Amino acid sequence: MTKEIKVRNISGKIFEQLHAISKKYNYASFNEFMLSQVENIVMNDGLNLYDNQFAETLSTIKEQQAQILELLLKNEISLTAFSAKQDMVEDLTLHWLRFMDDVDALEAERRAGGYS
């Protein structure tokens, strides 16, 4: 079942521009052009193509920002863990070097005292 739509209060300038557009894109009739525009409105949920693409792009950007934030958090956690491990290795190395200095000092003391 088909319905008719009557649009009121369209300025002459807009009416002429609509007719010019329908001719420019080789529509068979002005009615066919207007039907295609109404179908576009329905398919795009009332938005024009630019608005739809902007909304999709904005949604993609938001998703990517969330992924970036998640990865940044993971990197921060990893860096913190590596820093803690590095601090532990530094402490162990310093303790080892001090121990080796003590062993070397003890060895030198034994040699100086004549103990072998």
pLDDT (0 to 100) of residue 69: 96
Domain that holds residue 17: 9-43
CA-based torsion, 21, 26, 31, 32: positive or negative? negative
In a domain, 51, yes or no: no
In a domain, 66, yes or no: no
**Distance separating alpha carbons of residues 19 and 21, to the nearest angstrom:** 5
Grouping H, G, I as helix, E, B as strand and the rest as coil, residue 75 is helix
Can you read off the two tokens belonging to residue 43?
A: 């398919």
**Distance separating alpha carbons of residues 79 and 58, to the nearest angstrom:** 31
In percent, the amount of the chain with pLDDT more than 70 equals 97
In a domain, 35, yes or no: yes
| Average pLDDT value for the chain | 89
- Tally the domains of the chain: 1
pLDDT of 21-61, one tens digit each? Answer: 999 999 999 999 999 999 988 887 777 767 777 878 888 99
Residue 116 has pLDDT above 70, yes or no: no
In a domain, 26, yes or no: yes
